[in-house]
């Protein structure tokens, strides 16, 4: 690979924080209620995303009765649905799942951008973590290769929910 080609390998990892600093880290466990908003558009892909997300929740130990699934027509509707679920305060985290595949017009750019902005806004306005499981891809093959992103979205949502829970508990305690 020469220096002009973009990197296609993205990896997570652990941060190395020097000793002496307080660190607030979240864990992933099954003690939380989770809302899932999922687009029906590109259903072959979004059904696979939903299946993968539910399998991850099962593996983590989230009971099925602690999961609410809200199907919506398309990716553009994901933010409104995420906001509505978050505002109920019944869910510790929201997982947004969808797939936008680039076509021949700028429609892809508008939908992908507005969905991303709207999902972030839902999280910011409600304080409930909303994870980004919206695939924005060039073609169906890329989407199929990224189905596991649904599991990543589940884990991110639960980790952030735990961090926020710890932060609220610390805020309620005595000052140092």
Give the CA count within 13 Å in the CB-facing half-sphere of 25: 9
CATH T-level topology, domain 34-168: Rossmann fold (3.40.50)
Whether residue 4 is predicted with pLDDT greater than 60 in this model: the reply is: no
Measuring CA to CA, which residue among 53, 33, 60, 64 is closest to residue 134? 53
DSSP codes joined into one string, 97-146: EEEEE--SSTHHHHHHHHHHHHHHHHHHHH-S-EEEEEEEESSHHHHHHT
Q: What is the pLDDT of residues 41-93, one digit of tens each?
A: 999 999 999 999 999 999 999 999 999 999 999 999 999 999 999 999 999 99
The more confidently predicted of residues 23 and 54 is: 54
Residue keyed to tokens 């805020």: 171
Q: Give residue 10's pLDDT band: very low, low, confident or very high (50, 70, 90).
A: low
Distances (CA, A) of 174 to 65, 169, 170: 35, 10, 8
Active-site residue 107, yes or no?
yes
Q: Give residue 9's pLDDT band: very low, low, confident or very high (50, 70, 90).
A: low
40, 87, 90, 107: which is the annotated catalytic residue?
107
Q: Give residue 11's pLDDT band: very low, low, confident or very high (50, 70, 90).
A: low
List residues bridging with 136 in a β-sheet: 100
CA 175 – CA 131 distance, rounded (Å):
31
Q: Where are the domains of the chain?
A: 34-168
Measuring CA to CA, which residue among 118, 97, 5, 103 is closest to residue 45? 97
Q: What is the pTM of this model?
A: 0.89
Q: What is the pLDDT of residues 123-174, one digit of tens each?
A: 999 999 999 999 999 999 999 999 999 999 999 999 999 999 999 888 877 7
Question: Looking at 27-31, 73-77, 111-115, 145-149, which range is the least confident one?
Answer: 27-31
Distances (CA, A) of 82 to 22, 70, 94, 129: 32, 9, 6, 10
Phi, psi of 70 (to 5 degrees): -120, 100
């Amino acid at each position: 690979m020469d220096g002009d080609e973009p990197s296609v390998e993205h990896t997570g990892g652990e941060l190395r924080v020097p000793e002496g600093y307080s660190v607030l880290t979240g864990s992933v466990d099954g003690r939380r209620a989770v809302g899932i908003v999922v687009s029906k558009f590109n259903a072959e892909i979004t059904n696979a995303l939903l299946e993968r997300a539910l399998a991850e929740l099962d593996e983590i130990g989230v009971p099925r009765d602690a999961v609410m699934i809200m199907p919506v027509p398309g990716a553009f509707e994901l933010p409104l649905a995420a906001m509505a679920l978050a505002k109920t305060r019944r869910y510790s985290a929201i997982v947004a799942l969808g797939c936008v595949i680039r076509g021949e017009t700028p429609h892809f750019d508008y939908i992908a951008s507005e969905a991303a902005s709207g999902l972030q806004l839902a999280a910011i306005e409600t304080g409930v973590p909303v994870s980004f499981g919206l695939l924005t891809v060039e073609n169906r093959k890329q989407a199929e290769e990224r189905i596991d992103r649904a599991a990543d979205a589940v884990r991110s949502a639960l980790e952030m929910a735990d961090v926020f829970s710890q932060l609220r508990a610390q805020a309620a305690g005595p000052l140092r």
